[in-house]
Amino acid sequence: MNRSGTQLSSASQRWLKELRSAGYRLTAPRQAVVEIIANSEFLLDPQTLYDRARRRYPRLGLVTVYRTLEKLEEQGLVQRVHHPDGCQAFIAAVNGHQHLLICQRCNRVQYFSGDGERMGALMESVSQASGYQIQEHWLQLFGLCADCQASAEQ
């Protein structure tokens, strides 16, 4: 149990500890926001996150969601995800470089580790051909997750 009287997942507890050691305070609104996004397998935009977190902490303001996301992003706990229909969605971040696999129907997200060797070779050859000095890369796959394939068959 914690100060808001609700159970917190272990992921939330870890995130809150990280925020704490970065000098931020532990407050009930923050706990509510963290608890939702730390445990979501789906992309969440600020409004959706707000709607869900408000079920835990009804006095929550949308502004606090934006401010909390800002701090979580700064601590590397969440990352913003760009996709064809917008760029305001967030998902829990992972350590190290990983690529994203996104369901276009339900927004479920999964990470996969790109083939580092092939990727390196590709970047090397593009760099040679173009004269660019490459610093970063994005690789994202879009499709239908297993659940959505199943429900589409109905």
Q: State yes or no: residue 6 binds a copy of itself (CB under 8 A).
A: no
Q: Does 131 bind a copy of itself (CB under 8 A)?
A: yes
Is 90 a residue that touches DNA (CB under 7 A)? no
61 is a contact residue toward DNA (CB under 7 A):
yes
End-to-end alpha-carbon separation of the chain, Å? 42
Any contact of residue 106 with a copy of itself (CB under 8 A)? no
Concatenating the DSSP letter of every residue in 75-122 gives TTSEEEEEETTEEEEEEE--SS--EEEEETTT-BEEEE---HHHHHHH
Q: Does 146 bind a copy of itself (CB under 8 A)?
A: yes
Residue 49: CB minimum distance to a copy of itself, A: 19
Cα distances (angstroms) measured from residue 97 to each of 45, 93, 115, 116: 22, 10, 11, 9
- Does 115 help bind a copy of itself (rule: CB under 8 A)? yes
Q: Is 9 in a helix, a strand, or coil?
A: coil
The contact set with DNA (CB under 7 A) reads 3, 20, 23-30, 45-47, 57, 59-64, 66-68, 70, 88
